[in-house]
Amino acid sequence: MELIPALQFLKLKEIPQAWVDTVWDVEFTESKPLDDPIEDDLTATGDKSFRNLYQCLLAHADDQQQPAGRDKVSQSIWALLVENGVSVKSLVATLSFFVLAGKAKVANIRQRVSGLHAASLYLLLLGLPGSIANKVLHEVLLETCLDMTSHCWPQDSGKKRKKDNLKSSQAEGKRSKPHRKDNPEMEVDEEEEGEEELHFSGQDLMKIRDAVVLLVQSILRLLQTFPLKNTPQSASNCTRIFSKLLYFEPTIGELTFAAGQDLTKLRSVPEMAFYGLQLLFSPKHGDQKESLRRVFHRLLYVILMMNKGNRGRPTLLVPCQDILTTRNQAINFVCHIVEDLKELAIPFLQILLQHICFQMVEKSEFRTHGAQAVGMLTSRMASTDYACFVKWLFNFSRHSKMVCRLFSVDVVMVLLEQSERRMEECTDMELAHFLPHKFLIQNLLFARRMDHSSTVQGHALACLAHCLELPSFNATRAVHNLFSATGTQTMLEGETTEGNLSSQQTQKIYRTLPFRTVEISTTDSSSCDAKENLALLLQRVQDSKTNVRKSSLQALKGLLKHDVIPMSWENLAVLSERCRDPAVSVRKKALQCVGELLTAKPECRVVQKAWLQGVVPAVVDSENSVQEKALEALDQVLLSQVKLYSTTRHLDANQRLTWELLELLCNECQSLSRYFSRAFTIWSKQNKFTQMFITNLISHTESDHAAGAWLLLSKVVTSSSRLPYDKILDAWDSMVSSKHVSVTTCCHILCVMGDIAVHLTEDTKARVVDDLMSWLKTFTLSLEVISAAVETLYQLGNSKDVKQTQSFLNQHCGELVSFCETYLAGIMLSENGAQDLNEELMVKHLHTLGVASLHCPARVGKRMVLLVESVLTTHSDKLTDCQEELPASLPLSQFKANSLSTRVRAHGVITLGKLCLQHEELVQKYLPVFARELEVGTEVAVRNNVVVIMCDLCVRYTNIVDHYIPNISACLRDTEAVIREQTLIMLTNLLQEEFVKWKGSLFFRFMVALVDPVPAIASLCEYCLLYLLLKKNPEMFSQHFIECIFHFNSYSKHKSYNKFPQSEREKDRFSLKGAQHREKRFRIYRFLLEHFTDTQRFNITIKINQTVLACFADEELPLDADGAEILSETFNILSLKEMKLQAISVLSGNTAGEEPEEENMVNMAKAVLQAAQKKVVSQVQKKAFIENSVPLIISLKSLLEQKHSPILRDLMAYLQVTMQDYPNEVKEFFSGDEQLAAEVEFALKTAEKDREMEKQMDNCSLAGDAKTPTAQVQGSVPGSPVSSRPLIPFCFATPQLPHPNPLSSRLAHIDRSRQEEHTKSIALERTGTI
């Protein structure tokens, strides 16, 4: 088709010259209207006419590429236009008419397609030789045509188009209301707001897509022939356009990036876009380095999965499959360019890697994909360049931003998965030590164990455990070196630099960064000892942050699993103890870790023990999910492995493990029996114990691991209706006749016999009873077997007839009581009986007497009681010393001096207590004896048993024992730790069951246990108070708080507080008065306040004003030495940070001095709600302070000034702390005392200056004035994060961070260490990381 006829539809000869001149004069910036007939004709033009013209021009363009006649052909095109009277100027103006019409936001489908075709024609004309001479080029029109795809392709077309709406394919599209964008991250240009949007059908979109493809092909043809070297803005725009087109549509198959591709064979728009980016690297389009900078900068956001517009901050894209595919293609494209341009591209690859790290966000999914991208890109680097990047990453890993340090750990893990590079491959030997995996692990990964952020700490520790699973031998060996006991490992990371890069704390993650090399300074090195590393890891297991504890457990499990650290009980106990962690997720992680260790080391006995100690108690966990996890583990390891036993078949590894674990439960881990029984109670409801299971279990009772079989059988016998009783009776006969059956097995067999007693015949029962009696009368059994035998005896005699049962017990148990009475009489009533005493036999008689007397109280006579009482007689000289102080009810006349051992006396106490349980008159008689023994007794075992007996008696005789609760609670300050712990446990049980109330001094004695010198007891007390007792009485802490002030200072002059009766001995024992105990008192105050609600904090402040400050202001309480101590302590308590309302303090500061990442912050609605709540609460607190506190403070200040009291300092310190929240309202608050207002203002200004000084000292951790807004950092570049100048959008360089100041770095380290020590001193810290 000839060119001139193809141009006819444009009506060029009918276009007024004046209109053409006007369009050129406005430089194609706005559309000028034509005459209506002409405009209507042009508007009605179809895309077929444009395609015909395009094909005609394309044919000419192809002809000119032939070697011969190139000038002739090109000359004939422009000459042909002149000969036919076609003005090039008019042609360009007419094409711009279509372009500008299609660019409009309200353009319909025909206008958009025509505009795209017109732009394609213009670009094709521009690519012809002679276009410059014929004045075709106009930069504004060129930029408009290049960017037509973003204007013509409807945004969010997939969401907003109507399905197969044929009507919309006509001239006008239906308009709809604009879509409201509620996402705060989506920023819309101001001129776009409020614009109407059109709906397009699938057919419409296909037409636009075809036109877009034609336009992109035209751009590619233009880049092949037309140089952009002199128009760098056009090259930059092409880069931006191509990067946007990468998301235009999904690609088909794998993309290839070979040079010189046939445009007609490119199947998708993204494939064309990549080819266009590749064309831009040609020297004819400008300096190749600048081209690399531009392209890599644009691809940065594709790899980061962000949307970067012309202005504003980047926004995150949803990482769907299409986005991920485009990201992977961009990474492959960069790799191809690096392979193609080699050394020219390496510097910009370094910059790209640095910006991927520097602009990473905190979201886990984005970090994972970002780290993978870094790994893929670094794999194309030579060893020297790779070492340079690792060196930069080493410094980057200590950046002040938490997300930077967090991402550095992700990058390290990806780099460790690559093959290790040899140091010989590095041409620069100074960089060679950055190549080994050992450097990555020890200097980058393990260094994060001391990070300020708990998130980074936890992630680093979790990754450390994963390093042991890597196939790299050197990586595993590097972890071994960190924890090896043979020596220390030199580290290059200095702890004093932690958090030094603080100049970027106000830098938002989405802020545009100039694309230049990120330079981060290095610091001095330090060494880490292997033992210290292990000790630090064990400390992290007890960290206040949940995620740190979980990751530490995972790391510890990995070290144990791979034999990096010794498989000792000390290390394994840490895992099992965390199975009882306060946090549910930590308990689950601990259960998982001990389970994995057991799977990896099934034959290790200490691992088996640790598994039992962790899993078995978890069956009574308060959280159902933890309980189910423990039951599942026990079922899988124990129950499911009980197979039918055969002497001809060996046990497999899993079966051997089962019986070894059961053996441990029978011996070393017997204390877990009650938890184990709870598991069987739950399983019995689930019908776990089938007949086949019972049969298999019975088959093991005659094997060499019979003890474990009898243990299981004793737990399941009550849940099974059909049992092989003959085999059980045979085992009984064998046990009675044998002398080699273990104590534990005997107890389990006796338990089974008692449970099956109801199924036995009377003759069989009689035979078993005779066996039991003859066995018990020998008094050769252990104490455990005696208890089990008497219990079995009771079950054998139990029947529906109560009288018959009691008659049976009186007969048989009474006979045992008589035997014991005869023996004791022979010892206690004989002059030389105690000299040749068999202590073991004496203990067994006492024990038998105690357990048997519980079943036959009628057979216990006065003589028996006196005999047992005589066992407890103290030495005569001690009786004489304390006789005057003993209560009148103490039966001294019944005691006979003896020299029995402590063990015998301890069992005598237990026996006497069991006798008291059945006789109330004995309780009233001996309770004073027990109470006095607690005061003056010197034998630990005896006093411990007395505590147990008195608490047991409290359950049955609550009203009688209640009078002696102060005697029991006094043991909380006993000199022996075991008695303090026993008392704490017993009293907690009584308080839980409400047999004891919080009366008198009991609460304050529990508080003293909080500061017990033994940390384990203090921790136990904290657990009892928080998780057992506070739940039953949430107001408990606030009700007793004020009285704590008076009680612990031994102040009794107040009319209401500290008035309960106490002996002088008790007062001295529990007093915390004096400066030497101040720390203990405030530890208690802080503990109580930390667990107050805001309502309780508010009310307690008012109550302190009314009951303490008001009493001193009104001079009801004298301001003597004791009163001054109380008043001073009260002001110090009111100044505590724990006294501040959480609704105000939570929003006031950030944790760890870090700026929270945007994606981690609460949603906007919640933030607004909290801000409103803070405002309301602040106003209420302000009003209460003015009405209640200010008058009292003014009065007290006047009083203190009159008396020249030093307490005035504490009052002013309290005001300074309180008025920090209202610095501009001091005069309003203290309008009644102008002098006081002036003093408070001066104190606040002084404190502010001190804080500024401290802040400046902290800022010195990098470079003197790094944080000062106007400071210029040496070596920084325009647009760097530490610079105050505006950012340069397309400057492809990395920000340079300042060099550290060694002195200020040490100061920061010292301050951080103090903060860490302070945090560790507070149990159950709830604040953020240090």
Radius of gyration of the chain (CA): 44
Between residues 80 and 181, the one the model is more confident about: 80
Q: Name 1257's Cβ contacts closer than 8 Å, sequence gap at least 6.
A: 1304, 1307
* Per-residue tokens: 1062: 């106490």
Q: Answer whether 827's CB lies under 8 Å from 867's CB.
A: no
Q: Which amino acid appears at position 1196 of this protein?
A: L
- Report in angstroms the alpha-carbon separations of 70 from 65, 75, 126, 958, 1051: 7, 9, 16, 116, 111
With H, G, I as helix, E, B as strand and everything else as coil, classify residue 830: coil
Q: In the predicted model, what is the mean pLDDT of the chain?
A: 79
Q: Which amino acid appears at position 1049 of this protein?
A: N
Question: Which letter does DSSP use for residue 379 in this model?
Answer: T
- 827, pLDDT greater than 80: yes
- DSSP run (H or E) holding 1207: helix 1207-1218
Q: Which residues pair with 307 in a beta bridge?
A: 315
Write out the DSSP string of 895-947. -------HHHHHHHHHHHHHHHHT-HHHHHHHHHHHHHHHHH---HHHHHHHH
> What digits encode the pLDDT tens for the residues 15-70?
888 888 888 888 888 888 877 777 777 777 777 888 888 888 888 777 766 654 44
Give mean pLDDT, residues 274-288. 88
Between residues 379 and 1300, the one the model is more confident about: 379
Question: What was the pLDDT predicted at 229?
Answer: 86
Alpha helices by DSSP H, listed for 382-502, are: 383-396, 402-416, 437-439, 454-467, 473-483
Between residues 1316 and 51, the one the model is more confident about: 51
Question: What was the pLDDT predicted at 230?
Answer: 84
Give mean pLDDT, residues 721-739. 80
Rounded Cα distance between 813 and 918, Å, is 15
Question: What was the pLDDT predicted at 1169?
Answer: 55
- Report in angstroms the alpha-carbon separations of 273 from 142, 151, 596: 18, 17, 50
Question: What was the pLDDT predicted at 918?
Answer: 87
Q: Which amino acid appears at position 1006 of this protein?
A: F
Angle at 378 between CA 373 and CA 382, to 5 degrees: 165
Rounded Cα distance between 208 and 580, Å, is 64
Give mean pLDDT, residues 89-104. 87
Q: Which residues pair with 1293 in a beta bridge?
A: 516
Q: Answer whether 625's CB lies under 8 Å from 638's CB.
A: no
Rounded Cα distance between 199 and 158, Å, is 10
Question: What was the pLDDT predicted at 1288?
Answer: 34
> What digits encode the pLDDT tens for the residues 471-516?
878 888 888 888 875 433 333 333 333 333 333 333 333 344 555 6
Provide the pairing of β-strand 175-176 with 306-307. unpaired
Rounded Cα distance between 42 and 144, Å, is 20
With H, G, I as helix, E, B as strand and everything else as coil, classify residue 321: helix
- 346, pLDDT greater than 70: yes
Cα 376 off chain centre by: 30
Mean pLDDT is lowest, of 155-159, 310-314, 1236-1240, for: 155-159
Q: Which of 693, 589, 674, 561 is nearest to 635 (CA)?
A: 693
> What digits encode the pLDDT tens for the residues 602-621?
999 999 999 999 999 999 98
- Report in angstroms the alpha-carbon separations of 757 from 200, 743, 792, 795: 86, 21, 8, 7
With bands split at pLDDT 50, 70 and 90, how would you rate the model's confidence at 168?
very low
Query: How much of the chain, in percent, has pLDDT values that exceed 90?
Result: 28
pTM, whole model, 2 decimals? Answer: 0.72
Question: What was the pLDDT predicted at 661?
Answer: 93
Handedness of CA 416, 421, 422, 428 (dihedral sign): negative
> What digits encode the pLDDT tens for the residues 322-331?
899 999 999 9
With H, G, I as helix, E, B as strand and everything else as coil, classify residue 1293: strand
Give mean pLDDT, residues 138-157. 84
Question: Which letter does DSSP use for residue 617 in this model?
Answer: G
For the beta carbon of residue 264, count every other beta carbon within 10 angstroms: 7
With H, G, I as helix, E, B as strand and everything else as coil, classify residue 1317: helix
Question: What was the pLDDT predicted at 1181?
Answer: 62
Q: Which amino acid appears at position 612 of this protein?
A: L
Cα 1311 off chain centre by: 25
- 1018, pLDDT greater than 90: yes
With bands split at pLDDT 50, 70 and 90, how would you rate the model's confidence at 1329?
very low
> What digits encode the pLDDT tens for the residues 73-86?
444 677 777 777 78
- Report in angstroms the alpha-carbon separations of 873 from 899, 905, 906: 9, 9, 12
Write out the DSSP string of 1096-1160. HHHHHHHHHIIIIIHHHHTTSS--SHHHHHHHHHHHHHHT-GGGS-HHHHTTT--GGGPPPPGGG
